[in-house]
Chain A
């Protein structure tokens, strides 16, 4: 197992280099001329200014040279400068990361709890209407376009019924001191400001639900499958024969083992959350890296979109690595609750 973890860890730098190379390749084939982003249209006719800009931005160097510089810069966390905001991409991303993380965490919380609950219920009442309803709910979750569901729910719950606030992380007129973590919920708790906490949570409900729904589907399906596998095994029959109550059989015996394959999916569903966050943030005017990516893509702001893509790939790779290592460490086939059935 240690060999496996070492192999995975050693592969990481190579994968990251591959990812950086892919990004460099994209930035080379793009039709967007980086020069036109830094030099004004009129000055384009002035060869001196063009030459100076080329030298300043390293555009006069050969492609292999630029590649090496690019990779070295990336390794130092320098993603270049955004054409649109004129600020370093790394700074833009860092400023927007907490908003995305907060949204993704709450979406994950909703997706996992509802997914496990639905999966257990579906397995317990197999082939009943509950099972079918859970399956349909899960399928809808992975079939709907989040950018549309968000829009419709926002219209119904916020505009028509007025139960929930509109888009954004906070009410438009509310001004709060930025806290140390950048997570509005955590900052509110740290400051002991309950009104702020309530506002942050009420703004999180809809986007987290919309984003988490797809995860609900993935997880409930898997929990149902592995619950059914586990419920057929001898030790569950033994537990039942010993007179264990149904609740104890389901949660004490079956779910504990069914959760192990589920844990890996929870880790891997991070990818779905990143994907979904990009679109959810756009609908809910959420100032995170997802809406940053979309705004950048819309304006063909190449350094910014590549920067977000690289950060996304890194987060994705790390979460998969952590998940796989956790899986290897908690290998399910070795122990079960200290060896007692």
Chain B
């Protein structure tokens, strides 16, 4: 209804390609490229001492050097692979696990539904960062453990989302028709119900990639994620915080997190506007 009085869209580009989406795509592509090919960019070795320590930004070292004389720019660009990898793994596993459990809960009902949804209630009762910290502290430091902690915190969101979708879609007429035709349950769930449930999951997943990057960096910042000398952004900011007057050490990784999360939020925002007419605006 918001579109009633709007000017007709320019025909030159497709409707989903709005300015924020383009910006998001550019930023995200840049970081994906950095993650895949930072080794080929002719940068200084991110793990070696390459200059005097604690040098402010200069023509040679654009973002300065850290307390061990390592190049901050190189470390920042190399850091993309850790953040992107952990985000993709966490969101991927959380979506798969949460959607599976949520879909089964919504489709089967009964004690499966009760069991799954009460577990979801309990996990969602915790503030995310605290639960992630508690799980990570339980497992000990390390990027893998941080990923496990984040998955433990994140899957219930998708279980709840997917269950709601399944409950809504299964009452539609085409599902009744399929049941009347004798379609087997597994096929019914996969072909006739789930195929209509993915849109909000996809939008949420895109937005969540950014949030997972933030939280993973936070865990590393606290000291529960990446361990030295890994050039991980949260850990780099943590190192920068101890060298407070050398502001450039934290500047690069901070900007990296800000831009990549903004990029994913722009993308998610744009996707929502296009795919999900109900929550337009």
Contacts from A to B (Cβ < 8 Å): 14-15, 18-19, 21-23, 26-27, 29-32, 139-140, 142-145, 147-149, 151-152, 155, 159, 224-225, 228, 232, 271, 274-275, 278-279, 282-283, 293-294, 296-298, 300, 302, 305-306, 308-309, 312-313, 316-317
Contact = CB atoms under 8 A, between A and B. Distances in A.
Interface stretch (B49-57, B105-113, B134-142, B191-199): B134-142
A143 B138 contact: no
Interface string B233-253: 010011011001101001101
Interface residues of B, number: 50
A107 to B, nearest CB: 15
A316 B125 contact: yes
Contacts of A279: 129, 218, 221-222
Given A148-B257, A274-B130, A18 B138 contact: no
B281 A225 contact: yes
Q: Which of A159, A278, A283, A312 is the most central at the interface, judged by chain B CB atoms within 10 Å of its CB? A: A312
Given A139-B262, A148-B250, A155 B137 contact: no
Top 9 closest pairs, chain A to chain B, by CB: A148-B254, A18-B122, A143-B261, A275-B129, A30-B138, A143-B262, A274-B127, A309-B134, A312-B130
Given A144-B254, A144-B258, A155-B244, 4 more contacts: A22-B123, A148-B258, A152-B254, A282-B221
A306 B126 CA distance: 11
Contacts of B140: 31, 300
Contact of A144 (B247, B251, B257): B257
By DSSP majority rule, is chain B's interface helix, strand, loop, or mixed?
Answer: helix
A278 B121 CA distance: 23
Contacts of A305: 133-134, 137
Given A148-B254, A293-B130, A317 B125 contact: yes
A278 B247 CA distance: 22
Given A30-B138, A145-B218, A313 B127 contact: yes
Interface of B: 1-2, 118-119, 121-123, 125-131, 133-140, 210, 214, 217-218, 221-224, 234, 237-238, 240-241, 244-245, 247, 250-251, 253-254, 257-258, 261-262, 265-266, 269, 281
A306 B125 CA distance: 14
B250 A313 contact: no
A302 B245 CA distance: 33
Contact of A148 (B126, B134, B138, B237): B237
A19 B133 contact: no
B131 to A, nearest CB: 6
A21 B74 CA distance: 45
Contact of A145 (B1, B214, B251): B214
Contact of A275 (B128, B134, B221, B257): B128
A297 B224 contact: yes
B60 to A, nearest CB: 23
A142 B222 contact: no
Contact of B126 (A32, A228, A302, A309): A309
Contacts of B137: 30, 296-297, 300, 302, 305
A297 B133 contact: yes
Contacts of A147: 218, 221, 234, 237-238, 241
Nearest to B121: A15
A149 to B, nearest CB: 8
Contacts of B265: 139, 142-143
A312 B234 CA distance: 23
A228 B2 contact: yes
Q: Which of B118, B119, B127, B128 is the most central at the interface, judged by chain A CB atoms within 10 Å of its CB? A: B127
Contacts of B214: 143, 145
Contacts of A296: 137
A304 to B, nearest CB: 9
A297 B136 contact: yes
B75 to A, nearest CB: 15
A150 B210 CA distance: 19
A294 B221 CA distance: 10
Contacts of A152: 247, 250-251, 254
B132 to A, nearest CB: 9
19 contacts: A14-B118, A15-B121, A15-B125, A18-B122, A29-B138, A139-B262, A142-B265, A144-B254, A144-B258, A147-B237, A148-B253, A149-B254, A151-B250, A278-B133, A297-B134, A302-B137, A308-B130, A313-B126, A317-B125
Contacts of A149: 254
A290 to B, nearest CB: 9
A152 B240 CA distance: 10
A139 B224 contact: no
A298 B281 CA distance: 42
Contacts of A275: 127-130
Contacts of B218: 145, 147, 279
A26 B134 contact: yes
B131 A283 contact: no
